[in-house]
Amino acid sequence: MSASFTLHFDHADFLVIEKAAGVNFHDEEDIGSGLFSQVKARFSDESLFPVHRLDKMTSGLLIIAKSLECAQYFQQLFETRRIDKYYLALSDLKPKKKQGLIVGDMAKSRRGSWKLLRTKENPAITQFFSYSIASKLRLFCLKPHTGKTHQIRVALASIASPIIGDDYYHAKQPSNNESTSPDRGYLHAFCVKFTYKQQDFSFLAPPTTGHLFLTDGCQQQLQHIGDPSSLPWPTV
């Protein structure tokens, strides 16, 4: 995917697009138009509304509303946790635990990064399963129940498995599996499910870029996972 995004689904009230890795959501000085500006330009529509966002390093599915009414509807879905999102990530460092729940308040740390606290007053909540797909390479399938800044990135760093290519939370060194620096940040918005106006929607988009995502081991595990909502996620 050479463009900043591709159209995944076009509904009368909203768009579902697939964002490329390395693209900022907002405009950047010295770089130019961000993803949202490019979407508005592509569809010649200034009345679009962002429903949620993805970090610059993250690829995958994004919903964009075509009206304020639709945007407010999706906002309610997010606030009441009636929209399910699933992510994929790769780490080359062994986690403290292979599956489970990561819960904790988040606080700002140094140089724009965040950290996970032991307190749970307004916690970030993330569930995950992980799979060994090669020597020193583990695939994570994650289900965030909240939408905090850098939530998944901080969650995996907190269990000693920061995401490959994450300049904030992974040591600035090449992946253990490669002799060169990672070709992208290995976090991908894989699947989103929700009900809109009494109609159920489910969108699935496996990653299409990143040589580690495209290895045979990773692809075979993704086939085995299939629909991530069918995994035995415990009730939170």
Residues 58 and 7: beta-carbon distance below 8 Å: no
Q: Is 160 left (phi over 0), alpha (psi -120 to 50) or beta?
A: left
User: Residue 220: helix, strand or coil by DSSP?
Assistant: helix
Report how far residue 55's alpha carbon sits from residue 9's, in angstroms, rounded to the nearest whole number: 21
Angle at 213 between CA 208 and CA 219, to 5 degrees: 90
Sequence-separated contacts (24+) of 202-205 with Cβ below 8 Å: 202/227, 202/229, 203/8, 203/9, 203/16, 203/61, 205/8, 205/18, 205/60, 205/61
Pairing of strands 59-65, 187-196: parallel
Spatial CA neighbour of 155 closest among 207, 117, 185: 117
Q: Among 10, 27, 45, 55, which one carries the catalytic annotation?
A: 55
Task: Say which amino acid occupies 58.
Answer: T
**Is 167 known to be catalytic?**
no
| Catalytic center residues | 55
